[in-house]
Amino acid sequence: MAKAQQQNIADRLPKHYVPADVEPRCLQEWLSPGEVYSLVNACNAVYPLARIRAGQPYVVFEDETGFAKLEYEINSDEKLVVCRDPAGYAATLEPIEYDIQLAVVEGSIQSNLFATMAEIDESPTLAVRLADIFAWEINFIRDIQPNDSFRVLVEKRRRDGEFHSYGKIKAAAFTNQNVVFEAYAFTDDSGAADYYNANGESVKRAFLKAPLSFTRISSTFSPGPAAPDFKGDPPAPRHRLRRPHRHAGKGHRQRTSDLPGLG
């Protein structure tokens, strides 16, 4: 069977899972043991392949001669790219590209912040990040009341047309018991980024309003001050969480690691 025909058949197969280690099982289809050794050495100064983690996707690109390039997603922001070149292999770290869209997310709280985010099909991650911004001004454990509201201007990062994750929160407003708190992202000349109110003052204070982690507590309402209501983990969102992926079309194959790294 011709190689091109074999590749077309492989491209039609469903995505499957293979071990995370790159030597030799992952690449033995394309490279000899000596070539794998050279590739691993090329990566050592950039991102040692022993640090590969389970569950991270990678893509192998092929050309008419065989192996052409390996891309391994280190995290949601960065990937390892290993290309064949005349001298052997060249490894670099590159940012993962997203389609970034600014979106306004707003809601009115009737139970708690986590539940409200789920009701409007947003992730609990955004609830945590919003609470982190205003943690010096609002006690999210005890002070949240019915009809408190929020409005957030946030980057939504998409890949292949699907939502992947949140980027920067550009601005946010939270109304707590009829008092409006605002925060605007600003990066100074030194590159340091922080949030400031409309008067140019940092929203951070000497002490947090709540001494306990909001991420572990779901607040209930009370007519006055009350002890924190411990209810364990926040409720799960009602929308599906999607794993980032790349379409594995002709010329490359996508696989996802599911075992620990090289060790």
**Count of CB atoms situated within 10 Å of the CB of 247:** 9
The rounded distance, in Å, linking the Cα atoms of 216 and 203 is 23
Which distant-in-sequence residues (6+ apart) come within 8 Å of 95 by Cβ? 77, 78, 79
Which fold would CATH assign to domain 109-216? Nuclear Transport Factor 2; Chain: A, (3.10.450)
Report DSSP state, residue 234: P
Question: CB–CB of 139/208 below 8 Å?
Answer: no
pLDDT tens digits, 52-61: 888 888 888 9
Residues of the chain with CATH 3.10.450.350: 3-97+244-257, 109-216
Q: Tell which wins on pLDDT, 44 or 22.
A: 44
* Domain at 3-97+244-257: CATH code: 3.10.450.350
Question: CB–CB of 33/24 below 8 Å?
Answer: yes
For residue 119 the two structure tokens come to: 């009701």
Cβ burial of 201 (10 Å; 0-12, 13-18, 19+) is exposed
Q: Is the entire prediction scored with pTM above 0.85?
A: no
pLDDT tens digits, 146-185: 999 999 999 999 988 899 999 999 999 999 999 999 999 9
Q: Which amino acid is at 9?
A: I
Q: Is the pLDDT of residue 203 over 60?
A: yes
| pLDDT-based confidence at residue 43 (cuts at 50, 70, 90) | very high
CA 122 to chain centre: 14
Alpha helices in the chain (DSSP H): 3-12, 33-44, 113-119, 124-133
